[in-house]
């Protein structure tokens, strides 16, 4: 999806501010009318708001401030996004045709809700690996998931490649890491 300058995406100090990773993922995600969309860990709701211009959109976050902010941002733009405060996709029933996740991908343990945005546990991969383990439950047959990873997340990439058909869609070198966007779909037998 192309960034829509007409969308008003307000920010808040306690919620992850959209950055280069957010826009790299946004640019790689492709949504069509009629396909159900889910953004996991939505932050401000940047991707969910873009998707909601096109189709039904659901968003989750574990940070209550992010959940409130996505609700406010969707009202502000007169768009409908169903927002759920939950751990990853817990309690959600699929199927979703398109799922997007810009996870916390740096090494570390979060001490507060804002740190959850970047602290992804050992090698920055733990939250992503839990996401990958649950993804087949909610992804529609023939559906696609878009996942942002850092090159340091080797164990998450290995799990993705053992479970899904993986395509590298985009990559960007930043000053201390390189980010990739993977497209995950059913393995071709």
Residues that bind ligand SAM (CB under 6 A): 16, 18, 22, 25, 41-43, 46, 60-63, 66, 87-88, 102, 104, 116-117, 127
The strand order across the sheet containing 57-61 reads: 81-85, 57-61, 37-40, 96-101, 139-150, 178-185, 165-173
Q: Minimum CB separation from ligand SAM for residue 137, in Å? A: 15
- Distance (Å, whole) CA 76 – CA 89: 25
Shorter beta-carbon distance to ligand SAM: residue 89 or 160: 89
* CB nearer ligand SAM, residue 124 or residue 142: 124
CB of 34 to ligand SAM, least distance (A): 23
Give the nearest distance from C-beta 189 to ligand SAM in angstroms.
Answer: 31
Whichever of 97 and 126 has its CB closer to ligand SAM, that residue is 126
Q: Which is nearer to ligand SAM, 63 or 73 (CB)?
A: 63
3-state secondary structure of 79: coil
The encoded tokens of residue 171 equal 């990559």
- Would you call 53 exposed, middle or buried from its count of C-beta atoms within 10 A (0-12, 13-18, 19+)? middle
Report the distance separating Cα 120 and Cα 134, nearest Å. 16
CB nearer to ligand SAM: pick between 170 and 186: 170
Residue nearest to ligand SAM (CB): 41
- Within 10 angstroms of residue 86's Cβ, the number of other Cβ atoms is 14
Least distance in Å: CB of 22 to ligand SAM?
Answer: 3
- The CB-of-113 to ligand SAM minimum distance in angstroms stands at 6
Q: How crowded is the C-beta side of 68, counted as CA atoms within 13 Å? A: 8
């Amino acid at each position: 999806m192309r960034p829509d300058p007409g969308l008003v995406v307000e920010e808040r100090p306690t919620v992850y501010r959209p950055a280069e990773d957010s826009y790299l993922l946004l640019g790689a995600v492709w949504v069509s009318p009629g396909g159900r969309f889910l953004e996991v860990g939505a932050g401000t709701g940047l991707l969910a708001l873009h998707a909601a211009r096109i189709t039904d959109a659901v968003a989750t976050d574990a940070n209550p401030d992010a959940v409130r902010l996505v609700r406010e941002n969707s009202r502000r733009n007169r768009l409908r996004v169903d927002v759920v405060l939950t751990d990853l996709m817990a309690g959600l029933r699929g199927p979703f045709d398109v799922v997007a996740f810009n996870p916390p991908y740096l090494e570390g343990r979060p001490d507060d809700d804002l740190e959850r945005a970047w602290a992804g546990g050992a090698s920055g991969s733990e939250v992503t690996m839990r996401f990958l383990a649950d993804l087949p439950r909610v992804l529609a047959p023939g559906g696609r998931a878009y996942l942002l990873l850092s090159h340091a997340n080797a164990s998450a990439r290995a799990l993705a490649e053992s479970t899904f058909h993986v395509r590298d869609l985009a990559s960007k070198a930043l000053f201390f890491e390189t980010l990739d966007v993977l497209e995950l779909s059913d393995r071709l037998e």
